[in-house]
A and B are shown apart, each in its own frame.
Chain A
Amino acid sequence: DAGVTQSPTHLIKTRGQQVTLRCSPKSGHDTVSWYQQALGQGPQFIFQYYEEEERQRGNFPDRFSGHQFPNYSSELNVNALLLGDSALYLCASSGQGGRETQYFGPGTRLLVL
């Protein structure tokens, strides 16, 4: 049984560009959450998707947007990249609408130059 998978593993972009990160949840999970982990810090909640809708959002600007597909996979999009967006982006999946334990993928390391 595959766990949570994310792609790509690493990404380099320049300021002002746009990026799309992808996440496939663990089998049987219906909820996907995204977190940003800056270097030396704990992960910060970006948003959570359930039934193809954003159900909860953290304190992130509108440049951060997402999508969930019918197969429960998800994308995180970041527009107008800033240097400060450089971080490890973690996806977590859970079952029962998010009431179950969240399991994390390996993350996508984004570097903005």
Chain B
Amino acid sequence: AQSVTQLDSHVSVSEGTPVLLRCNYSSSYSPSLFWYVQHPNKGLQLLLKYTSAATLVKGINGFEAEFKKSETSFHLTKPSAHMSDAAEYFCVVRGGGGGNKLTFGTGTQLKVEL
């Protein structure tokens, strides 16, 4: 079965400092992986996706993620946090059960302080 594990439920950073949100995946084959962001009382917005092309994936708003097969990881990073980055972030894997369903991690709440 496909699954993802987000290693931190809460991350707090200062504005202007780097962001690292950690995600490990489990998959029996080469996975399609995504990061989505959810701002309070909003739907989910796609940040970036990995679908077996380049292992370093660039997304919106300066975020990027690196697919590391040897470590089964797909960590999300940003060089410099902005107050507007405060939100819930979900690591997601697609597939499993013979279909295209998305399986979400438990989420990481990012807090950005002045």
* Chain A interface residues (CB < 8 Å from chain B): 4, 31, 33, 35, 41-45, 48, 55-56, 58, 90, 92, 94, 97-99, 101-107
List the 9 closest A-B pairs by CB distance, nearest first: A56-B99, A42-B104, A98-B100, A104-B44, A106-B43, A45-B101, A104-B43, A107-B43, A43-B104
* Chain B interface residues (CB < 8 Å from chain A): 34, 36, 42-46, 49, 90, 94, 97-107
Asked if B90 and A56 sit within 8 Å, CB to CB, the answer is no
CA distance A41 to B103 in the complex (A): 12
Expressed in whole angstroms, the minimum distance between the Cβ of A56 and any Cβ of chain B is: 3
CA distance A42 to B103 in the complex (A): 9
Chain A residue nearest in CB terms to B107: A42
Asked if B99 and A55 sit within 8 Å, CB to CB, the answer is yes
Asked if B101 and A101 sit within 8 Å, CB to CB, the answer is no
Chain B residue nearest in CB terms to A44: B104
Expressed in whole angstroms, the minimum distance between the Cβ of B3 and any Cβ of chain A is: 12
Asked if A101 and B100 sit within 8 Å, CB to CB, the answer is no
CA distance A33 to B94 in the complex (A): 12
Q: Hey, which chain B residues are within 8 Å of A45, CB to CB?
A: 101-103
Q: Hey, which chain B residues are within 8 Å of A102, CB to CB?
A: 94, 100, 102
Q: Hey, which chain A residues are within 8 Å of B49, CB to CB?
A: 101
Q: Hey, which chain A residues are within 8 Å of B44, CB to CB?
A: 43, 90, 92, 104
Chain A residue nearest in CB terms to B88: A42
> Told that A48-B99, A55-B99 touch, could you supply 10 new A-B pairs with CB distance under 8 A?
A4-B43, A35-B102, A48-B100, A48-B101, A92-B44, A101-B49, A102-B100, A102-B102, A104-B45, A106-B43
Asked if A56 and B43 sit within 8 Å, CB to CB, the answer is no
Contact of B100 among A41, A43, A44, A99 (CB under 8 A): A99
Q: Hey, which chain B residues are within 8 Å of A42, CB to CB?
A: 90, 104-107
CA distance A45 to B42 in the complex (A): 18
Asked if B107 and A58 sit within 8 Å, CB to CB, the answer is no
Asked if A92 and B100 sit within 8 Å, CB to CB, the answer is no
Asked if A56 and B102 sit within 8 Å, CB to CB, the answer is no
